[in-house]
């Protein structure tokens, strides 16, 4: 368990570049957590689906990364911009973020990105994600709900372990109460792992269940639009499935969390090869 009160070595506690602070954090697992970062001054407007870049100063240099905002724009100004983040084994920024005490200064800039909803689109929205890639979809549904204009959605999310299904209670709650018209379709990629012993749902990576789900729910290019977010290999594979079913390219929107084929530097340079392979597999599952 991280000691949130301990000073973090190398991180500048009070840099002039800081314009925001970490105001809240909730852990989902040891390596997945929700973080809320609030501007010290006026909030910046953004559209659901866009991202912000957050960072800290380390030894005089900014270390920063982009993150999709999970909060509705209507709430981010007061509650803080919510981010759902995986601690990447061998990563540069996320191990620092996970050690950062609540209340610490941060630099936040943005918004950026074009992974946003089309105006007035009444087709079923097929939201496909791996790992933390569900964050922008949560922002979209939260804001549509606040606007009183929910759009029918099918939300597929693939993770390694059941415990990693972020926003599960929220999405299942929407579905069971009918508060938001969403069908939640989670899947775990390591069904034989003891950690998934209680899992009775779908298995396999999210790209492998996409075709069957489209068939079961009678989703076609005529009645739906697809948004895909997360791991680049998953995105390219899911896109292939959609294109082969006749979805035109402009009906398949994508947000890649990292360039295809790129691994964290710490992993590539790891001296312990077994540990490096394990870490690569864990990150690739997301």
Ligand X SMILES: Cc1cc2nc3c(=O)[nH]c(=O)nc-3n(C[C@H](O)[C@H](O)[C@H](O)COP(=O)(O)OP(=O)(O)OC[C@H]3O[C@@H](n4cnc5c(N)ncnc54)[C@H](O)[C@@H]3O)c2cc1C
Integer angstrom CA distances of residue 41 from 22, 111, 116:
14, 15, 25
Q: Which residue's entry shows tokens 């209507």?
A: 74
User: Pick from 262, 271, 272, 273: which binds ligand X (CB under 6 A)?
Assistant: 262
CB of 182 to ligand X, least distance (A): 19
| 107 vs 248: CA distance, rounded Å | 39
Number of residues in contact with ligand X under rule CB under 6 A: 27
Residues 63-82: x/- map of binding to ligand X (CB under 6 A)?
Answer: --xxxx--------------
157 near ligand X, rule: CB under 6 A = no
54 near ligand X, rule: CB under 6 A = no
Part of the chain binding ligand X (CB under 6 A), chosen from 60-68, 103-111, 183-191, 206-214: 60-68
92 near ligand X, rule: CB under 6 A = yes
Q: For 182-218, what is the HEC assignment?
A: EEEEEEECCCCCHHHCCCCCEECCHHHHHHHHHHHCC
| 253-277 as b/e: b if 16+ CB within 10 A | bbbbbeeeeebbeebeebeeeeebe
134 near ligand X, rule: CB under 6 A = no
286 near ligand X, rule: CB under 6 A = yes
110 near ligand X, rule: CB under 6 A = no
CB of 206 to ligand X, least distance (A): 13
Token code pair at residue 140: 């979209």
For residue 3, give every residue at least 6 positions away whose Cβ sits within 8 Å of its Cβ, in sequence order, or none. Answer: none
- Name the residue nearer to ligand X (CB basis): 8 or 214: 8
- Name the residue nearer to ligand X (CB basis): 99 or 263: 263
CB of 150 to ligand X, least distance (A): 22
247 near ligand X, rule: CB under 6 A = no
220 near ligand X, rule: CB under 6 A = no
| 157 vs 181: CA distance, rounded Å | 16
241 near ligand X, rule: CB under 6 A = no
Q: Which residues bind ligand X (CB under 6 A)?
A: 51, 65-68, 83-86, 88, 91-94, 113, 131-132, 135, 255, 257-258, 262-265, 283, 286
């Amino acid at each position: 368990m991280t000691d949130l009160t301990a000073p973090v070595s190398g991180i500048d506690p009070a840099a002039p570049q800081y314009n925001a602070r970490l105001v809240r954090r909730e852990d989902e697992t040891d390596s997945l957590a929700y973080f809320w970062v609030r501007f010290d001054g006026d909030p910046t407007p953004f559209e659901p689906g866009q991202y912000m870049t957050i960072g800290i100063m380390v030894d005089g240099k900014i270390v920063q990364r982009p993150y999709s905002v999970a909060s509705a724009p209507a709430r981010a100004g007061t509650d803080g911009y919510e981010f759902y983040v995986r601690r990447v084994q061998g990563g540069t920024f996320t191990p620092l973020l996970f050690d950062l005490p609540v209340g610490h200064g941060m630099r936040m800039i943005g918004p950026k990105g074009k992974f946003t909803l089309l105006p007035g689109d009444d087709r079923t929205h097929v939201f496909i994600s791996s790992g933390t890639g569900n964050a922008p979809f949560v922002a979209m549904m939260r804001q549509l709900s606040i606007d009183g204009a929910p759009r029918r959605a099918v939300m597929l999310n693939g993770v390694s372990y059941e415990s990693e299904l972020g926003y599960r209670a929220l999405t299942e709650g929407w579905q069971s109460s009918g508060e938001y018209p969403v069908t939640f379709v989670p899947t775990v990629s390591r069904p034989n792992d003891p950690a998934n012993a209680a899992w009775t749902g779908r298995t396999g990576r999210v790209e492998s269940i996409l075709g069957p789900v489209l068939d079961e729910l009678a989703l076609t290019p005529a009645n739906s639009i697809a948004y895909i977010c997360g791991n680049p290999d998953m995105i390219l594979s899911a896109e292939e499935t959609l294109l082969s079913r006749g979805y035109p390219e402009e009906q398949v929107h994508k947000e890649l969390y990292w360039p295809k084929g790129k691994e964290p530097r710490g992993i590539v340079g790891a001296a312990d090869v077994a540990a490096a392979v394990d870490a690569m597999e864990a990150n690739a599952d997301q």
